[in-house]
Amino acid sequence: MARHRGDKEDGPDRHMGLLKLVQILSFLVVFVAGIIMGLATSSHINQMFTSQARLFFTSNIAATKISGNNCTIVRPCKRVDCFSMETFLHPKNLTHRMKDEELFWRASLVPIKEEYPFDRVPKVAFMFLTRGPLPMLPLWERFFRGHENYFSIYLHTPRNYVLNVSMDSPFYRRQIPSKNVEWGTVKLVDAEKRLLANALLDFSNERFVLLSESCIPIYNFPTVYKYLIGSEHSFVESYDEPTRYGRGRYNRNMFPDIQLYQWRKGSQWFEIQRALAVYVLADTKYYSIFKKYCKPACYPDEHYIPTYLNMFHGPLNSNRTVTWVDWSVGGPHPATYWGINVTESFIQSIRNNETQCSYNSEMTSVCYLFARKFHPSALEPLLNLTSTVMEF
């Protein structure tokens, strides 16, 4: 009897234990199922948002929308690799939004490694500082024709001026971001440095020549290129002028940073090699002194670069210019030559003016490669002489 009673008491306990075990297992199954369903739902939501985001950004990157009054124009955008070597070494688009300080800093960066990671063909950068139109444009276009791999062109014009040339012209889209300048002020130096900075951004440019809209070449391109690329020196006129037009323009407030015996004068129209271009661009101290103290009748464009190079880089400079000009008329401006003045003998007289100069430590009669000042009326007779006298 005792054993039978015990079996009856154990039965309900055993059933309760089994019931609790089933409840626990059921709870675990539901919990695990909930986790699995939650993960699946989360993944679906993430995929939905990711796909929507991709669709949004792709559609916005793939097209630029320009809204007008009655329509919306959709234009595809090209993807540009801003960090590619080609973009860094040879910028094609001269348009940028850098301030002068940013531009000068960017252009003064110099690689320590001497070897170039590409086949570098040195170029001559032709930098035109103009007041607007280029009356000698057809002459220069003929000069450059067929030599596209050996030169670069940079134009500094009045701020809102637009040069209208055909797409096949070497001057097409070669205007740099410019500012208005004033003759006889430091703004001319600013424009020169702006041209140098933009030209230095292209690592192929090795020589830098400054020209005006009234300048012409008096030799063909191969002669000019070989002369400049092969030179061991730069061509910046720098001399001591012991008159009121030279030493008389020195301001004693420049002392002791710039002393009178270091003061130099020279033509604004220079030609310099890449290393010197970087030095000129990177200078802040001496430029600031000129900006503060060299004011009319002191003209910074005639004194700043000649003085700076004389102080620090004299051995790299030939102390002469390669741009011929006639100062025999006197006054603040050189003689201007009109169409009636342009003859074969006149061009030959500029080439062979009985002047001897030093070139790579040897004497030569080829001292000038360019000439100024030429009136627009001189264009037609000059074009008539290109195939015979100037050979281009």
Higher pLDDT, 374 or 7: 374
pLDDT score of 203: 95
Q: For the chain, how long is the longest CA-to-CA vector?
A: 150
pLDDT of residue 19: 61
When pLDDT is averaged across residues 143-164 and rounded to a whole number, the result is 96
Q: Is the peptide bond before 63 cis (omega within 30 degrees of 0)?
A: no
Indicate whether 176 pLDDT > 90: yes
The candidate with the shortest Cα–Cα distance to 300, out of 277, 320, 280, is: 280
The predicted-structure confidence for 102-127, as pLDDT tens digits, reads as follows: 999 999 999 999 888 889 999 999 99
pLDDT confidence of residue 79: 60
Q: Which residue has the higher pLDDT, 223 or 78?
A: 223
DSSP string computed for 31-64: HHHHHHHHHHHHHHHHHHHHHHHHHHHHHHHHEE
Amino acid 271: pLDDT: 98
Mean pLDDT for the stretch of residues 37-62: 45
Q: What percent of the chain has pLDDT over 90?
A: 70
Residue-wise pLDDT tens digits, 310-344: 999 999 999 999 999 999 888 778 999 999 999 99
Q: Quick one: pLDDT at residue 103?
A: 95
Selected residue with higher pLDDT from 41 and 65: 41
Does the pLDDT at position 68 exceed 90? no
pLDDT of the residue at 369: 98
pLDDT at 59: 39
55 pLDDT more than 70: no
Measured CA distances, 386 to 316, 338, 382 (Å): 33, 17, 6
pLDDT digits (tens, 9 = 90+) for 264-323: 999 999 999 999 999 999 999 999 999 999 999 999 999 999 999 999 999 999 999 999
* Strand 123-129 with 362-364, pairing: unpaired
**Confidence class for position 162, pLDDT limits 50, 70, 90:** very high
Contact by Cβ (8 Å): 187, 102:
no
Q: Using 50, 70 and 90 to split pLDDT, how confident is the model at 21?
A: low
Amino acid at 84: S
Distance CA 26, CA 65 (A): 58
Model confidence at 352, in pLDDT bands (50, 70, 90)? confident
Nearest CA to 208 among 278, 309, 138, 277?
277
- Identify the pLDDT of residue 331: 78
Residue 384 has pLDDT above 90, yes or no: yes
Q: Please report the pLDDT score of residue 70 as a whole number.
A: 38
Q: What is the mean pLDDT of residues 143-151?
A: 97
pLDDT of 65 above 60:
no
**Polymer length of the chain:** 392
Instruction: Please say if the pLDDT value at position 75 is more than 70.
Output: no
Most confident by average pLDDT, 9-23, 29-43, 68-82, 135-149: 135-149
> What pLDDT shows up at residue 40?
54
- Name the H helices within 220-299: 221-229, 274-282, 285-293
Q: Express as a percent the part of the chain with pLDDT over 70.
A: 79
Where do the domains of the chain lie, and which CATH numbers do they carry? 85-321 (3.90.550)
Nearest 5°: CA angle at 197, between 192 and 200? Answer: 125
Give the end-to-end CA distance of the chain in Å, rounded to a whole number. Answer: 134
pLDDT score, position 353: 83
Question: Which pLDDT does position 80 carry in this prediction?
Answer: 56
The residue that leads in pLDDT, 90 or 146, is 146
Query: Tokens for 283?
Result: 């200078």
The confidence score (pLDDT) of residue 71 equals: 40
